[in-house]
Amino acid sequence: MWLYLVALVGLWTLLRLIRERKVVSHLQDKHVFITGCDSGFGNLLARQLDRRGMRVLAACLTEKGAEELRNKTSDRLETVILDVTKTESIVAATQWVKERVGNRGLWGLVNNAGICVPLGPIEWMNKEDFAKILDVNLLGMIEVTLSMLPLVRKARGRVVNVSSAVGRVSFSGCGYSISKYGVEAFSDSLRRELSYFGVKVAIIEPGAFKTALNSVGRLSSSIKMLWDRASSEVKEVYGEEFMLYYLRIVTSLVETCSEDLTLVTDCMEHALTSCHPRTRYSAGWDAKLLYLPMSYLPTFLSDAFFYWSSAKPAQAL
């Protein structure tokens, strides 16, 4: 009995691999628009797709980031300045894309732009701290998608939204996890609606990776800023020992992050170039072996895991 089951799983895995290796034809004629290309995943993906001969339209937040990217790529790649929190910037970028794709439409839209600070315990934050992250990671992504959808639908193309493993299991109260839960819900709805038009939607769920956005210096500054701003009551309840412990935990987590960003960008590339892309891509071993299995556990078990892993700061209160 077990032998038949193993054989069946092996056959299914083999057929899936063969199916997923089929590549879309005429990639050199297809345009892909990527947000957040100043650094990190977006920057690396833009260079990867450019090497494959695709026509990359890279959106950067700063002119410096755009210039550095152009210096590392071919003349095919073009850049535009985009702030996903500003409607006028999105409208201008959409018009810019229209002029380049023409009647062919936009084959790929990659919503990669994102931020992860402010970061800290919920009680240290205010509404504006949450809004700052949601404006970029969720609302900005939604507005860019709505603006580009007619072009993607014309090409019967792809939408690739970058979520996170913590969009499945949240261990921090900051706006980052909240925004990524929203990305998951939006992507699921979008995928089901656009399937009628031949458009495929994929979600990328990276684990912990080291990028410029989650550097030790950036996260430490955010935590210290929230602590310095906190009320005297909050400081009395939590105590400086808790703040220092929280800071050490975040620092140690960042130091263990993977530096191999290709684990993520290879998933993005597959979602854009495969004839049969996956619905979800879990990038990184922590995403596959920790966050993904934990998302299917009963709530009391996942709560118990996080409770015991955070026992020391709880005792400090």
The number of C-alpha atoms within 13 Å of 182 and in the hemisphere containing its C-beta is 16
Length of the chain: 317
For the beta sheet containing 280-283, the strands, ordered from the edge strand earlier in sequence to the opposite edge, are 78-81, 55-60, 31-34, 108-111, 158-162, 200-206, 280-283
91-108 confidence digits (pLDDT tens): 999 999 999 999 999 999
| Mean pLDDT along residues 190-215 | 93
Is-above-0.85 flag for pTM? yes
Residue 220 within a domain = no
Q: Is 283 in contact with 59 (CB distance < 8 Å)?
A: no
Among candidate residues 56, 92, 97, 89, the one with its CA nearest the CA of residue 74: 56
pLDDT level of residue 217 (50, 70, 90 thresholds) = confident
What CATH number does residue 168 fall under?
3.40.50.720
Residue 246 within a domain = no
- The yes-or-no answer on residue 176 being catalytic is yes
Q: 3-state SS string over 4-49? A: HHHHHHHHHHHHHHHHHCCECCCHHHCEEEECCCCCHHHHHHHHHH
Residue listed under structure tokens 């959409």: 94
pLDDT at position 317, please?
45
Distance of CA 143 to the CA centre of its chain: 16
**DSSP secondary-structure letter at 79?**
E
Residue 18 within a domain = no
- Residue 317 CA to residue 302 CA, distance in Å, equals 22
| Whole-Å CA distances, 3 to 8, 12, 34, 140 | 9, 14, 46, 50
- Residue 230 CA to residue 223 CA, distance in Å, equals 11
The CA angle 187-190-191, to the nearest 5 degrees, is 85
Q: Does residue 282 sit in helix, strand or coil?
A: strand
244-285 confidence digits (pLDDT tens): 988 888 888 888 888 999 999 999 999 999 999 999 999 999
Domain with 133, as residue range(s), is 24-210+259-294
Phi, psi values for residue 163, rounded to 5° = -100, -135
Residue 133 within a domain = yes
Residue 229 within a domain = no
pLDDT at position 1, please?
67
Provide the H-helix boundaries in the chain.
2-20, 40-51, 63-71, 87-101, 127-134, 141-155, 175-194, 216-229, 232-255, 262-273, 285-286, 292-296, 299-309, 311-315
Residues whose CB is less than 8 angstroms from the CB of residue 35 and which lie 6 or more positions away in sequence, other chains included: 42, 59, 82, 84, 110, 111, 112, 113, 141, 144
Q: Does residue 210 sit in helix, strand or coil?
A: coil
Residue 79 within a domain = yes
- The DSSP string of 96-132 is HHHHHHGGG--SEEEE------S-S-GGG--HHHHHH
**How many domains does the chain divide into?**
1
More confident residue, 241 or 201: 201
Distance of CA 174 to the CA centre of its chain: 16
Residue 100 within a domain = yes
pLDDT at 5 over 50: yes
Residues whose CB is less than 8 angstroms from the CB of residue 90 and which lie 6 or more positions away in sequence, other chains included: 82, 84, 140, 143, 144, 147
Catalytic residue among 176, 238, 281, 291: 176
Residue 10 within a domain = no
Look at 10-14, 117-121, 272-276 and tell me which has the smallest mean pLDDT: 10-14
